[in-house]
Structure 1
Amino acid sequence: MMKLLTPFTSAELTLSNRIVMAPMTRFRAEEDGTPLPIVADYYRQRAGAGLIVTEGIWPSLRGQSGWRIPGLESERHVSAWQHVTEAVHDAGGRIFAQLMHGGRQGHPRSRILGDIPAGPSAVPVPGPVHVRDGKADPVIPRAMTHDDIRTAIADHVAAARNAIRAGFDGVELHGANSYLIHQFLADNTNLRTDAYGGDISGRIRFPLELVQAIADAVGAGRLGLRLSPGNPQFGMEEADPAPVYRALLARLDGLGLAYLHLTDDDRYPALADLRPRWHGTLIANVGENHAPTTREAGEAVLASGRADLVSYGRLFISNPDLPHRFAASLPLNTHIDQSALYGHGAAGYTHYPAWQELQPVATRQP
């Protein structure tokens, strides 16, 4: 049997296989951030993954990065997410909510509050940026005050508690791909000279405080962290990621987190460098900025010992039954309808059939 399909058990997780569905923004929320009813169908279809990590969810309106991205702030949000978690659990799956604070990401024309976003420093994203009604030049974000930082931590804690109330098995902090945590870690987005910037100890302070606060609130075993050292998306610059992320992991390693979700990079081999420094569960993502991860690539990562689990993104979009297709060596649907990728309806979202649905009715198994 492929190792990808073997069960995985740790002190924090019990999974039916080692295939993780990676978080992918799909914009299927109402204007107030409430996930649409089809979101439950979408994740239920993909419950064969050992673990699902949802698309990024803003913890509060202050952290909203884009229009019709879902939230986890209001009771309406919690109620809608309950339908999602129930659908996944009824199908035998497990699901974590990814909390994604935009930091400097965002624009008044895409934010419900209509305000200027705030990040570690007043450094804008490269433009142009997508907004509610098209594209616009980026705005210069506010530099977060200490009160802003404390508020962001409190917002995350409240959202994590909401996630558990909504039935999620845990939460993942989005510390990757240019969002708030990554902005504190990176060279060009953290120009601060106070306790949250300057040297390495200052740059890792916010992530450490945030992780500890959420671990205290919902339990470290219900908390994962995603990092992407060296990822240049959205204009991020990290000339020498190794010392920063080594220092961060040295402080996090003994907390008993559910997992570390780590993206590899061509310029900095994060998996090879950081795996020996992380003694808990590690999820590898090797498809970021590359072609979609194949079954063979996932097997190779596990065989190398660089990870315990492997996350898949794009293949899950068009193959809702991806683990089954891997297990039976079935053909994969590699076509993704790009025109509907970020739409608001079922087309390009829940309409991709499982392999069984493609077979003639007379040959389908009961």
Structure 2
Amino acid sequence: MNTGNVVIFGANGFLGRYLTRHYLDQGREVAAVARHGEGIDRRAMFLPWDGRTPGPWSLALEGAALVVNLAGRSVDCRYDESNRREILASRVDSTRAIGEAIAACKVPPRVWMNSSTATWYRDARDRPQDEWSGEPGEGFSVEVARAWEESFFSAKVPGAVRKVALRTGMVLADEPGTVLEVLRRLAKSGLGGRMGPGRQRVAWIHMEDFIGAMEHLEQDMLADGVFNLTAPRVPTNAELMRTLRETVAMPVGLPAARWMLEIGACLMRTETELVLKSRWVVPARLEAEGFGFRWPELGPAVADLLERPGVEGFFGRPVKRSVGHRAWVSPRRVEPA
């Protein structure tokens, strides 16, 4: 099991809250760095920051075992000029500030994992995209992804600091306000049909496999560079929505044509790219290293999450949950038979 202090940036976001609970349940000390402490487990040490400049939080990096940067403004918005600037700056500036703070450490952290996105790859409908042969895409989201990684890998930190960029797909979890909750509600209401053509691929990963992959990458002293954090089986949008309908026992699902999605996105202040781009992204490096996915198939993964007792409001009923989330011990390497 991995040990040592963990520093999580963007700790008040969905992934940050989940990871904070997980590492605390493992008995590790966690410094939770965010603009505000709302929603952060009280067992963690909360440290405020502005997301742009080094500050007192920098002291938490001294001798840390793991630094995880999840900071970045949500892309679930309209891509107007103001939001574009904020989306880009929130990722590049936060990464630069962390790099400068690590460079100033007397005892630098062992591992620095930085968020990235599976959107880095092109709209792929002909073949899967992996870390070795995948091709970069075009457009604003891809420009952000490339600038984000460039800021990370160009940071001049001591050579002993191992860097890992996490090109993550859609993370499915039993948490309120996440994409699974939104999709489940659509399916439950009879609106869970295919979106657009339905042939676009959806890169996803179960939250437990996301955590398991991070533990694997922290433990593997040779793991560095880019890793795709996605499940090995990548369904189409039509398959995803059908799976959700089957899970909630809804026999019908009205499809949404592209023009309908455009109107809906405008009303909801978001972008259709989030559902129309084909993200056929596979975890070639994780699989090559023998990482064992507990949830490689979408159907069992969705069924598992939707059958869990969620927090109040997730399934429309109040359910109590302890402060700490249940610990997940991931498989490490699958030994050959």
Normalized against structure 2, the TM-score is what? 0.37
Greater RCO (CA < 8 Å, at least 6 residues apart): 2
Normalized against structure 1, the TM-score is what? 0.35
